[in-house]
Structure formats: structure tokens, C-alpha cells
């Protein structure tokens, strides 16, 4: 059988990795796919040929539309990133009857509903395993491996750059900006790294995971998103003293009132496996009603780990092309006409526990005012840590861990605490999840 012909858009971190992995493992991959897979045409604005041995034998255009319109090509692999022209390229590929593989979570989270509809109408596949959790086969695991379950909740460390930064700050006391620069040099970060540190990238990925887990359309605009740029080394140290790690977590849970969809820094008990996922590694914890808790772990970013997921999708598409084209796994796991309109819960209605750090003047009665404010709102306290004031200082940090309460009640309590005469600065609030999957 003739090899499947692939057009590769982008020859950067992931595009380069895809080119190299496909070449290096060609024989093994062909044995799995049932036929050869050949990149015949690529597009890039710029690329480094010294990192791509063999690229000289392939046509490389600077106009990606030339590849998408190339009649010889069966599968377009979009590894350019961003919204435009990625969206136009993907829609044109679909219109031309080509299957698409992409690692572009921003594109899928914001325009996936439209793209999948176009693909459905045209009878082609759009595969996006690399868009979530890099090399971890998490889309396949949730969509296919857990198909028997009602998913109850999922929690993930789904941004490699952010996790790398938090880990280096904690373990080596390094500065935020310095670690971010290293993540960029290693090819982990997005073209605009605020997507990583402000949680937008994780929110894209969570949006996709929640759709696949709960059978709802992609709703990025309803995802609560908070980044890690305000986390201080002090918070990391205080959390450690109390037995917790701070992780940037994406969390989604089905409740009777709606679906929680939120990304924010989160305290997690340090005995949990997921609290010990460090560096660029990602992990997703998924709780199904039948299977119970399951945990998926692997490199969340980087050239070849991400290429591993891209190539797996190319193999999947090749198998479908070669076998029964009607028998396909639906894009969002549930049949398109069976997606549910379960609402996404507003953040004020979401319940979590909290870590609060206050800066109090070292005066009698301050702490009792704070505990009264919490008690009036039925917010119970799990632990209090009052640090000694530094030599000659009149301000003391006070750390409070609370039990679960709604975000709305906590917002009111924080406003009342900040209004107290002897409380200085803003209260730092980090949500806390026990992630007890038993």
C-alpha cells in the first residue's frame, strides 16, 4: 500500500520534533500504522536545517496555504500555533477534504466547536492529543479508556512551564523571571509566555478536558483563570510548613448545579502523588465512578515528548483512512448531537478550602477580630500559623487554613478582614484541595 502523505505546517520545537521522530522511527511506526507515513511538503517562516537532518529532500514553502492546497496530501499537521492563520489553514484543509492533526490548544479551546462541525460535515478527522498534557496520552485515555465511566472530577497540572517555575523556586530559591527565561530557551513556553504564567494555556487545556469528560461543548470563556505570578517564595515556604505544596491546578467537577471549571494556584497535601509532580512534568488525576481514581503522568512540554503525541495522532488517522472511515471516535468523546447543556458554575458558587495569608499589626485583639469575621460567615478554621515578627518589625504574617466554603462567602470575609484597622495590605488567598480520591 502507498504511504500516507503528510503536510507539516511549522518546523519549530514541536514541528521539528515531529519531523525527527517520524524519520527516526519510520519502520516501527509503519508496522503500527499498517502503511508508511511520509512528510512530502512542509511550511515554515523560519527553521534551523541543522536540527532537521533529511529536510533538504522535502519541499519547504514559506506560504502554509500552499501545503494545505497541495492535492497530494492526505493529512495536514498544524504546528504553527496561535489563532490566525492557524484557524484559516485548518478550515481550508478540512474544506479540501484533508484530515488534520494539531497541537494547538488555543485554537481548539476557542474555535474547536466550529472546526469540529466543519470536520463532521466534511467527514474528516481533527486529532489533538498533543494539545493537552504534551506527550501524555490523556485525550485517548479519557475519551476511549474511560468510556464506561461517569467522570466525577479531574484535576491536572497541565502547564509544564508553570510547574517548572514553581518547582525551581521551591527547590533552588530561583527568581521567577530567571526560570521563565530558561523554560523559553528549552522550548517549553508559549510564543507569548503570559499564556503560561497567567493560566490561559492551562485554561485552554482544561476547557478541552472538561468537554471530553462531561460531554459539553468547549466553553473557554466560562473558565475561571488565575495565574502564578503573585505566588511568593514565602507562600511556598509557609504552605510547606503546614504540609502542603502549591501547584498550578486545573480543576473540573460535575456537581448537581453545574460544572466547575477553574485554573488557579492550589494547596495540595504533600502526601498526594500529584503534589510531587515536579519540573516540566504534567499529571492529570481523573476520578470515574466505575474505575475510581486514575493518574496519568509524563512530560507536558518539549520537542520530542510533544511530537510523540502528534505522531500517535497521525498513526490513528492513518489507521482510520486505511480501514472503516465511518467508524470514528467522536471529537469530544460524545456524539455531536448528544452534547449536554449542563451549565458551568459561576466561581462565586464554587466551594473549596482556602489558605489565607494576612499581614497583621502585632496588637492584641487582631486575631480575634479575624476569627470573628470568619465565624460570622460559618467559615471554620483548620489551622492557624502565626509567625514571629522579624527583629524590630511591628507586622506579623498570619496564615489561616479554612475548611470548605463558597467563593462568594470567602470574598465577603476577605473584604471585611481587609477593612480591619490593624490589617495591612491585601489578604493573599490560595485555594486548597485535598484531592482525596478514595
Ligand X SMILES: N[C@@H](CC=O)C(=O)O
Ligand Y SMILES: NC(=O)C1=CN([C@@H]2O[C@H](COP(=O)(O)OP(=O)(O)OC[C@H]3O[C@@H](n4cnc5c(N)ncnc54)[C@H](O)[C@@H]3O)[C@@H](O)[C@H]2O)C=CC1
User: Residue 123 annotated as binding?
Assistant: no
User: Residue 258 annotated as binding?
Assistant: no
Among 133, 288, 300, 397, binds Na ion (CB under 5 A): 133
User: Residue 10 annotated as binding?
Assistant: yes
Please say if 222 is a catalytic residue. Answer: no
Q: Rule CB under 6 A: is residue 190 a binding residue for ligand X?
A: yes
Among candidates 312, 314, 279, 277, which has minimal Cα distance to 296? Answer: 277
129 binds, among Na ion, ligand X, ligand Y, none (CB under 5 to 8 A by kind): Na ion
Among 70, 74, 78, 129, binds Na ion (CB under 5 A): 129
Q: Rule CB under 5 A: is residue 316 a binding residue for Na ion?
A: no
CA distance 148 to 144: 9
Among 120, 159, 207, 352, binds ligand X (CB under 6 A): 159
374 binds, among Na ion, ligand X, ligand Y, none (CB under 5 to 8 A by kind): none
User: Residue 15 annotated as binding?
Assistant: yes
Q: Rule CB under 6 A: is residue 15 a binding residue for ligand X?
A: no
Q: Rule CB under 6 A: is residue 91 a binding residue for ligand Y?
A: no
Look-up of cell digits 500529584: 274
79 binds, among ligand X, Na ion, ligand Y, none (CB under 5 to 8 A by kind): ligand Y
Q: Rule CB under 6 A: is residue 55 a binding residue for ligand Y?
A: no
Nearest approach in angstroms of CB 188 to ligand X is: 4
Q: Rule CB under 6 A: is residue 246 a binding residue for ligand Y?
A: no
User: Residue 105 annotated as binding?
Assistant: yes
User: Residue 11 annotated as binding?
Assistant: yes
Candidates 118-126, 184-192, 308-316, 386-394 — which segment interacts with ligand X by CB under 6 A?
Answer: 184-192
Q: Rule CB under 6 A: is residue 78 a binding residue for ligand X?
A: no
CA distance 260 to 345: 5
Q: What is the 3-state secondary structure (H, E, C) of the chain?
A: CCCEEEEEECCCHHHHHHHHHHHHCHHHHHHHHCCCEEEEEEECCCCCHHHCCCHHHCEEECCHHHHHCCCCCCEEEECCCCCCCHHHHHHHHHHCCCEEEECCHHHHHHHHHHHHHHHHHHCCCEECHHHCCCCCCHHHHHHHHCCCCCEEEEEEECCHHHHHHHHHHHHHCCCHHHHHHHHHHCCCCCCCCHHHHCCHHHHHHHHHHHHHHHCCCCCHHHCEECCCCCCCHHHHHHHHHCCEEEEEEEEEEEECCEEEEEEEEEEEECCCHHHHCCCCEEEEEEEECCCEEEEEEEECCCHHHHHHHHHHHHHHHHHHHHCCCCCCCCCCCCCHHHCCCCCECCHHHCEEEEEEEEEEECCCCHHHHHHHHHHHCCCCEEEEEECCCCCCCCEEEEEEEECCEEHHHHHHHHHHHHCCCCEEEEEEEEEECCCCCC
- Footprint of ligand Y on 305-324 (CB under 6 A): 306
CA distance 230 to 251: 19
Among 6, 285, 301, 432, binds ligand X (CB under 6 A): 301
Nearest approach in angstroms of CB 300 to ligand X is: 5
CA distance 329 to 71: 26
- Footprint of ligand Y on 14-33 (CB under 6 A): 14-15
In the complex with ligand X, which residue's Cβ is closer, 86 or 189?
189
Contact string 278-307 vs ligand Y (x = CB under 6 A):
-----------------------xx---x-
Q: Rule CB under 6 A: is residue 188 a binding residue for ligand X?
A: yes
- The catalytic residue among 205, 222, 247, 287 is 205
Please say whether the beta carbons of 384 and 336 come within 8 A.
no
Among 73, 103, 239, 400, binds ligand Y (CB under 6 A): 103
Q: Rule CB under 5 A: is residue 309 a binding residue for Na ion?
A: yes
Please say whether the beta carbons of 274 and 435 come within 8 A.
yes
Candidates 89-97, 188-196, 216-224, 283-291 — which segment interacts with ligand X by CB under 6 A?
Answer: 188-196
User: Residue 16 annotated as binding?
Assistant: yes
User: Residue 394 annotated as binding?
Assistant: no
Nearest approach in angstroms of CB 298 to Na ion is: 8
Helices 160-172, 176-185: axis angle to 10 degrees equals: 130
159 binds, among ligand Y, ligand X, Na ion, none (CB under 5 to 8 A by kind): ligand X
* Residue list, annotated binding site: 9-16, 105, 190
Which residues are catalytic, by number?
205
Binding residues for ligand X, rule: CB under 6 A, are 134, 159-161, 188-190, 196, 201, 300-301
Binding residues for ligand Y, rule: CB under 6 A, are 10-15, 43-47, 64, 79-81, 85, 103-104, 130, 134, 187-188, 190-191, 301-302, 306
Amino acid at each position: 500500500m502507498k504511504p500516507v502523505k503528510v503536510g507539516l505546517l511549522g518546523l519549530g520545537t514541536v514541528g521539528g520534533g515531529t519531523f525527527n521522530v517520524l524519520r527516526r522511527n519510520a519502520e516501527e511506526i509503519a508496522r503500527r500504522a499498517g502503511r508508511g507515513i511520509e512528510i512530502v511538503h512542509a511550511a515554515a517562516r523560519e527553521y534551523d536545517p541543522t536540527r532537521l537532518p533529511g529536510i533538504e529532500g522535502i519541499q519547504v514553502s514559506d506560504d502554509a496555504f500552499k501545503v494545505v492546497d497541495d492535492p497530494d496530501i492526505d493529512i495536514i499537521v498544524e504546528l504553527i500555533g496561535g489563532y490566525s492563520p492557524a484557524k484559516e489553514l485548518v478550515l481550508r484543509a478540512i474544506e479540501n477534504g484533508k484530515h488534520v492533526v494539531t497541537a494547538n490548544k488555543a485554537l481548539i479551546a476557542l474555535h474547536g466547536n466550529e472546526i469540529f462541525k466543519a470536520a463532521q460535515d466534511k467527514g474528516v478527522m481533527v486529532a489533538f492529543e498533543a494539545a493537552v498534557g504534551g506527550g501524555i496520552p490523556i485525550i485517548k485515555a479519557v475519551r476511549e479508556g474511560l468510556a464506561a465511566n461517569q467522570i466525577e472530577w479531574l484535576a491536572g497540572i497541565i502547564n509544564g512551564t508553570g510547574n517548572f517555575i514553581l518547582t525551581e523556586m521551591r527547590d533552588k530559591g530561583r527568581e521567577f523571571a530567571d526560570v521563565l527565561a530558561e523554560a523559553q530557551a528549552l522550548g517549553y513556553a508559549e510564543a507569548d509566555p503570559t499564556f503560561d504564567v497567567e493560566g490561559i494555556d492551562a485554561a485552554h487545556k482544561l476547557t478541552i478536558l472538561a468537554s471530553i469528560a462531561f460531554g459539553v461543548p468547549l466553553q473557554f470563556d466560562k473558565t475561571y483563570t488565575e495565574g502564578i505570578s503573585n505566588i511568593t517564595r514565602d507562600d511556598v515556604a509557609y504552605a510547606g510548613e503546614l504540609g502542603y505544596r502549591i501547584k498550578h491546578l486545573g480543576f473540573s467537577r460535575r456537581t448537581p448545579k453545574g460544572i466547575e471549571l477553574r485554573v488557579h494556584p492550589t494547596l495540595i497535601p504533600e502526601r498526594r502523588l500529584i503534589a510531587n509532580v515536579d519540573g516540566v512534568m504534567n499529571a492529570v488525576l481523573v476520578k470515574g465512578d466505575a474505575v475510581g481514581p486514575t493518574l496519568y503522568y509524563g512530560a507536558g512540554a518539549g520537542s520530542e515528548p510533544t511530537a510523540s503525541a502528534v505522531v500517535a495522532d497521525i498513526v490513528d488517522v492513518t489507521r482510520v483512512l486505511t480501514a472503516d472511515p465511518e467508524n470514528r471516535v467522536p471529537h469530544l468523546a460524545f456524539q455531536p448531537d448528544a452534547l449536554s447543556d449542563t451549565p458551568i458554575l459561576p466561581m462565586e458558587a464554587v466551594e473549596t478550602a482556602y489558605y489565607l495569608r494576612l499581614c497583621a499589626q502585632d496588637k492584641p485583639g487582631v486575631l480575634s477580630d479575624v476569627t470573628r469575621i470568619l465565624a460570622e460567615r460559618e467559615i471554620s478554621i483548620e489551622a492557624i500559623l502565626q509567625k514571629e515578627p522579624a527583629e524590630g518589625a511591628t507586622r506579623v504574617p498570619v496564615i489561616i487554613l479554612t475548611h470548605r466554603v463558597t467563593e462568594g462567602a470567602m470574598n465577603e470575609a476577605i473584604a471585611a478582614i481587609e477593612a480591619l484597622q490593624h490589617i495591612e495590605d491585601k489578604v493573599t488567598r490560595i485555594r486548597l484541595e485535598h484531592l482525596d480520591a478514595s
